[in-house]
Chains A and B, each alone.
Chain A
Amino acid sequence: MTNFFLYITVVLLLFFGVATLLFKRNLIKIVIALNILESGVNLFFITLAFKNDATAPIFTLAPDLAELKMVLPTPQALILTNIVIGFATSALMLAFAVLVYRNNKTLDIRKLKGIEIHD
């Protein structure tokens, strides 16, 4: 039962991420929300990989057990990739946000919409 908390945490992280994406209007805040969304997905994968009474999938550190029991390695590999991708994406989005600010002197989506119509 206690371990179910992990899933709940994942759901809440995703929920907060999506809610912020929908209701906040600051471009940088949106990037933070995306990062939280990605953290939620990452935690979800790692939670899926977890196995009770198992060791990390590294033989160097594993104790000498009669039956080999390790957590699943694939999700960990995928998440390694996804973390770097998430970092790269957020860096690019922040660069865009900086340029938007240079051109329009605002980071608010509502004001940016007004600029679009007038130009």
Chain B
Amino acid sequence: MKLGSLLSLVLILGFLFVAVLRLHPVGQPLGHPGVMKDRGSAVTDTANIFTMDDYYIRNGQAETGSNNIVASVVFDYRGFDTLGEATVLFLVVSSISMLMYTILKQKKIKKDHFFKIYNFPTDISRIISFGPYLLYPIIIIFGAYLVAHGHLSPGGGFQGGAVMASGTALLLISSLFTIHIQRVRRVFSFFESLGLAIYIGLGFAGIGTSFLHNFLAQGNPLFLGRAIPFGPNPGYLNSAGLLPLLSLAIGIEVFFGISVILVTMYHVAMDGDIKDAQES
């Protein structure tokens, strides 16, 4: 058993080293000779676009109206992956709720009880009890900024949602949710479902052409449809069609989804039965 493990370990290590030696040098992707050797039909030279990434960089701005190519790949070209990823998060939230169901349904726990279980000092310092309240608005504003400007600057639904969810973690430290925790969980799960429903609803809205089609991008210049010239430019907030909306939906979903996970685990931690878990 141990020998087998060791053997497979050495095998994997050797494999990886050989792979790394054969790969292109860092910093020169897809450029070295022999890689794009044609075997099937001829590669026609269309405006020097040889790879998918080249296409995204050259046409992404015109097709999606987004200055951030990564955002246009995440929400437009590969929007289906993003849907799958959001589904994974939703799935995990549901799974954890299912696993912890019996624990979560137990009677409400008072705030002092929690501190007694884990031998926390009851007089926590001001920094911990009030610091989160000061930081929380700033974190939320920063996260919302990331979500809203996802198509212009680094950021987007995932990042903004995750930043906002770290605000929830801060609030948990200051034990704000302790008393109303079940209600908080229910509200958060509702909003999570809402975010996902918005995402897939926007996907279905374009089904006349194809699923998740960005039908606003080249359309109405008044509502998110403003055209952007090719090349470096400051960009407009009012562009990129469906992209900001999808980004918003994902932002809502990630924010509330991760918050539900955190709140659920915190709630489980407040369960009195685990008292003997603590090592002295």
Chain A interfacial positions (CB closer than 8 Å to B)? 3-4, 6-8, 10-11, 14-15, 18-19, 22-23, 47-52, 56-65, 68, 70, 72-74, 76-78, 80-81, 83-85, 87-89, 91-92, 94-96, 98-99, 101-102
Q: Which 9 A-B pairs have the closest CB atoms?
A: A52-B27, A3-B26, A57-B69, A77-B73, A88-B92, A72-B53, A22-B5, A59-B67, A7-B20
A92 to B100 alpha-carbon distance, docked (Å): 11
A88 engages B88 (CB within 8 Å): yes
Interface range on chain B (Cβ under 8 Å from partner):
35 or more
When A7-B26, A85-B88, A102-B274 are in contact, do A60 and B67 touch as well, CB less than 8 Å? yes
Q: Which of B8, B29, B261 contacts A72 (CB 8 A)?
A: B29
A38 to B256 alpha-carbon distance, docked (Å): 24
When A64-B231, A74-B52 are in contact, do A80 and B96 touch as well, CB less than 8 Å? no
A77 engages B158 (CB within 8 Å): no
A56 engages B154 (CB within 8 Å): yes
Task: Give 12 new A-B contacts, CB below 8 A, not counting A50-B29, A91-B265.
Answer: A6-B26, A7-B26, A11-B17, A15-B13, A19-B9, A22-B6, A59-B232, A60-B233, A73-B56, A84-B254, A91-B96, A95-B99
A66 to nearest B CB, angstroms? 11
A60 engages B152 (CB within 8 Å): yes
| Chain B positions within 8 Å of A15 at CB level | 9, 12-13, 16
Q: Which of A4, A49, A83, A91 contacts B25 (CB 8 A)?
A: A4
A22's closest neighbor in chain B, by CB?
B5
A50 to B159 alpha-carbon distance, docked (Å): 21
| Chain A positions within 8 Å of B68 at CB level | 57-60
A68 engages B29 (CB within 8 Å): no
Convert B76-92 into 0s and 1s, putting 1 for each residue whose CB lies closer than 8 angstroms to a CB of A.
00100110110011011
Number of A-B contacts (CB under 8 A): 151
B74 interface residue (CB < 8 Å to A): yes
| Chain A positions within 8 Å of B99 at CB level | 95-96, 99
| Chain B positions within 8 Å of A98 at CB level | 265, 268
A78 to B78 alpha-carbon distance, docked (Å): 9
A84 engages B26 (CB within 8 Å): no
B16 to nearest A CB, angstroms? 5
Can you give 16 contacting A-B residue pairs, CB < 8 Å? A4-B25, A7-B23, A11-B16, A14-B12, A22-B8, A47-B26, A51-B28, A51-B29, A56-B154, A65-B232, A68-B58, A73-B69, A77-B78, A81-B85, A88-B89, A88-B91
A76 engages B70 (CB within 8 Å): yes
B69 to nearest A CB, angstroms? 4
When A50-B26, A64-B232 are in contact, do A70 and B261 touch as well, CB less than 8 Å? no
A50 engages B57 (CB within 8 Å): no
B29 engages A49 (CB within 8 Å): yes
Within 8 A of A (CB), among B233-280: 233-235, 254, 258, 261, 265, 268, 273-274, 277
